[in-house]
């Protein structure tokens, strides 16, 4: 699943470690989500959205829906 996590993190000047600590996950998890190697669980996706004060669909893009538009 594509996402804007790296972009949003960069806009705030946060390191992967700082984001991981805020989300209570490992830095490796943040890296895996950013690179698309891991899709977060729904509860984690909600925590990410809450942290950035955005809707989940503003952060995560379903590739199947992206091609339909």
25: domain CATH number is 1.10.260.40
- With contact defined as beta carbons under 8 Å apart, do 5 and 56 qualify? no
Counted residue by residue, the chain has a size of 69
Bridge partner residues of 2 (DSSP): 61
What integer pLDDT is reported at residue 62 of this predicted model?
A: 78
pLDDT band at 5 (very low <50, low <70, confident <90, very high): very high
Q: Read off the pLDDT band of 1 (50, 70, 90).
A: confident
Instruction: Kindly state whether residue 25 falls inside one of the protein's structural domains.
Output: yes
Kind and range of the H or E element at 3? strand 2-3
Q: Could you tell me if residue 63 is inside a domain?
A: no
Name the domain count of the chain: 1
Contacts 24+ apart (CB under 8 A), 11-19: 19/51
**24 occurs within a structural domain:** yes
* Residue 65: pLDDT over 90: no
Above 80 in pLDDT, residue 67? no
């Amino acid at each position: 699943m594509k996402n804007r996590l790296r972009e949003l993190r960069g806009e705030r000047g946060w390191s992967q470690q700082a984001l991981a600590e805020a989300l209570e996950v490992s830095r490796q998890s943040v890296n895996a989500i950013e690179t698309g190697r891991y899709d977060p669980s729904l509860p984690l996706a909600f925590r990410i959205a809450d942290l950035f004060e955005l809707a989940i669909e503003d952060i995560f893009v379903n590739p199947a829906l992206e091609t339909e538009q």
